[in-house]
Amino acid sequence: MKNGRRAFMGKAFGAVAGVGAVASLYAMKKSWDPLPSVRSAGFTTLDMSAYKENELVVEKWRGKPIFVLKKTAAMLAKQTDADKARDVLVNGEHYMVCIGLCTHLGCIPGYRPESSDFLCACHGGMYDFTGMVTKAPPPRGLDIPPFKVDGNKLVLGEEGPEYKKMKETGITL
Amino acid sequence: MAHFTKATSVHDWINQRLGIDTVRRVMATEYWIPKNINFLWAMGMVLAITFALLLVSGIFLLMYYQPNVNTAFDSVNYTIMREVDFGWLWRHVHGVAASVVFLVIYIHMFTGIYYGSYKNGREMIWISGMLLFVTFSAEAFSGYMLPWGQMSYWAGMVITNLFSLGGLHADGIVEWIRGDYVPAQAFLDRFFMLHVLLLPLAIMGVIGLHFGALRIPHVNNQDGEELDFEKEAAKYKAGDKKGSKVIAFANDFMSKDLFVVGIFLIFFFYLVFFHYDFAMDPVNFDPADGLKTPAHIYPEWYFLWSYEILRPFSTNIGLMAFGFAQVIFFLLPFLDRSPNAIPANRRGLFSLWFWAMLVDMIVLTAMGKLPPEGIFSTIGLVAALVFIGLWIALPFITKSEKKA
């Protein structure tokens, strides 16, 4: 009888402590989540009419560099279908919009306007003007950030239909 | 309640209430250390002293350091280094000790491996020691974030990126760890907390476990001789100090321990005063900039060997090799199938294994520092494969080892 009562008290304590432990772990996990202010600052709106052809502009989105390159007619003529699928179209103009971090180890590649390609100084990886890899070690082309076309503007951080399509077809991750 | 008598002295008064004589006997005068050891047995004490140096210098740094992305860099490089009297001393002691502590940890580990001090009852010493290696690594990494220079930022970026688990692209975990999309205020604050509170607490707890794990199996000796500690202790206590194979931890053994510590401290402060720069990466004297990557990102020297195991492979295989390297040392007591706990030089093939592992880790360290180009990346790849191969071979070569 005595032992039965002790065992019950032990189990009752275990149950209370268990619920408390799980609840505290949940609170601890949530406390480490990015804050609402951090999340709401996770959107960048770009006015796409301001860019000049073959001039790379580095914007900032979620603390990461974003490459924006308005393509020239000569570039468009050279593009294959696979290249075209990576283009972001705003008002009929073609843009390359990519996260400017090498997909190898996250260094920032530099743009060379004369040869219109990117060279990553860290490990010698190269990308063409569409952001596709032309020389290893990068495992894939530059990633495209989530975007939504809104008239003349491009909102980074929101997933528009064009972006969702790119993701489905595996053009970007 | 226990019976208390009128105290005859301050010592007696305290002893009746706290039992300090018993504590002293258990911890010092009747804690037995074999005589047949060498200076390598003093590394534990050297580590304890280095940890104390880190703690004290850290307390002084903590009084002026500001964990804020706008002020952190200046609070270290201006306030502590130029304004605070002797601020430079605390920083250099802290930086040099953080580097040297790993050198001594590696010596301590390889001493254990050489003399077989991880088996036949000493498994928990090894495992708790490996836990200390992991917690010290986390402590070193979190501390490296705090000056918020370019290397802090980019090391933080690259290391937290590892948690996306390569091909799994678990970016949610990475953002959760950072509390932001990139290392920023939330990241700096939480790594500050980890560095000054949670990890030091964990380290102190595990040090307690490490010491406790030593208690029952006792310290190993140079010949791996199995001592009957009770018998030898009885001999010692009966006055046959010469015939006994053991001595008391304090003050007998301690005096030798502290002599080695003294020599270590001369070397240590020589580094602090004249060669502190080896522990201070020049790139980290540029403030953190998320839009500019340093040309070469490499970790501090003590992480280079595991970095080099990650680097020569493609992302996923590299991560797996890296994960393997992080946990495999834990399994040493179980992968070594031989019952012999004797020095490596008397263990046949294992002797080769020991030296091959040591040389391989030195090669990995050297290659990790060099840019991964041409012949260096080939040597790095071979060394990484040799590392993995040696661990796979270990159970087989130890299994066929003859009983000594």
pLDDT, one tens digit per residue, over B353-385 is 999 999 999 999 999 888 777 788 899 999 999
Which has the closest alpha carbon to B54: B268, B246, B257, B232? B268
Q: CB count, 10 Å around CB of B362? A: 12
Distance between CA B174 and CA B319 in Å, rounded? 15
Above 60 in pLDDT, residue A121? yes
Show the 3-state SS of B288-334. Answer: CCCCCCCCCCCCCHHHHHHHHHHCCCCHHHHHHHHHHHHHHHHHHHH
Instruction: Show the tokens assigned to B366.
Output: 């050297």
Confidence of residue A2 (pLDDT cuts 50, 70, 90): low
Strand-pair category, A153-156 with A126-128: unpaired
Are A58 and B291 an interchain contact pair (Cβ–Cβ within 8 Å)? yes
> What's the gap between Cα B380 and its chain centre?
24
pLDDT at position B89: 97
Element (H, E) at A47: strand A44-47
Q: For tokens 């490990």, name the residue.
A: A123
Q: What is the DSSP letter of A43?
A: -
| Residues B25, B21: Cα–Cα separation, whole Å | 6
Long-range contacts of B53-57 (CB under 8 A, 24+ apart): B53/B93, B53/B97, B53/B268, B54/B94, B54/B97, B54/B98, B54/B101, B55/B200, B57/B89, B57/B90, B57/B91, B57/B93, B57/B94, B57/B97
Tell me the chain B residues in contact with residue A35 when contact means C-beta distances shorter than 8 Å: 179, 186
Mutate to test the interface with A, among B180, B189, B310, B377 (most CBs of A within 10 A): B180
Tokens standing for A149?
A: 């076309």
Residue A1: pLDDT above 60? no
Q: Which residues contact B286 (CB under 8 A, 6 or more apart)?
A: B149, B150, B294
**Mean of all residue pLDDT scores within chain B:** 93
Residue A87: per-residue pLDDT: 83
3-state secondary structure of A135: strand
A63 DSSP 8-state letter: T
| Pairwise pLDDT comparison (A122 vs B298), residue with the higher score | B298
pLDDT at position B25 over 60: yes
Out of B290, B315, B372, the one facing A63 most closely (by C-beta) is B290
Q: In this predicted model, what pLDDT tens digit does every residue of B146-170 receive, in sequence order?
A: 999 999 999 998 889 888 887 777 8
What pLDDT is attached to residue A142?
A: 87
Residue B330, φ and ψ in degrees, nearest 5: -60, -35
CA distances to A8, A58, B79 from A98, in Å: 61, 10, 40
Domain B298-404 has CATH 1.10.287: yes
Tell me the residues of A at the B interface, defined by beta carbons under 8 Å apart. 29, 32-35, 38, 42, 58, 60, 62-65, 105-108, 121-124, 139, 173
Structure tokens at B93: 């002691």
Residues from chain B that touch A124, judged by Cβ atoms under 8 A, are: 373
Q: Which of residues 275-294 of B touch A (CB under 8 A)?
A: 290-293
Q: What is the ipTM, given to two decimal places?
A: 0.79
Give mean pLDDT, residues B15-21.
95
Q: Is the pLDDT of residue A167 over 90?
A: no
Q: Between chain A and chain B, how many beta carbons pairs sit less than 8 Å apart? A: 61
Find the mean pLDDT for residues A47-56.
83
| CA gap B102, B105 in Å, rounded | 5
For residue B150, the model assigns a pLDDT of: 94
The arrangement of strands across the sheet holding A133-135 comes to: A110-112, A117-119, A126-128, A133-135
- Over residues B214-237, the mean pLDDT reads 94
* Domain B16-291, CATH homologous superfamily name and number: Cytochrome Bc1 Complex; Chain C (1.20.810.10)
Residues in chain B: 404
Q: Which of A30-34, A169-173, B12-16, B273-277 has the lowest mean pLDDT?
A: A169-173
- Decide: A96 and A87 in contact? Cβ < 8 Å: yes
Q: Averaged over B89-105, what is the pLDDT? A: 97
Domain-wise residue ranges, chain B = 16-291, 298-404
pLDDT band at A44 (very low <50, low <70, confident <90, very high): confident
- Tell me how far apart the alpha carbons of residues B329 and B171 are, in angstroms, rounded to a whole number: 29
**Which of A34, A65, A121 lies closest to B179 in CB terms?**
A34
Residues 158-187 of chain B whose Cβ lies under 8 A from any Cβ of chain A:
158, 161, 169, 175-184, 186
Under the banding of pLDDT at 50, 70 and 90, the label for residue B1 is low
CB contact under 8 Å between A63 and B175, yes or no, is no
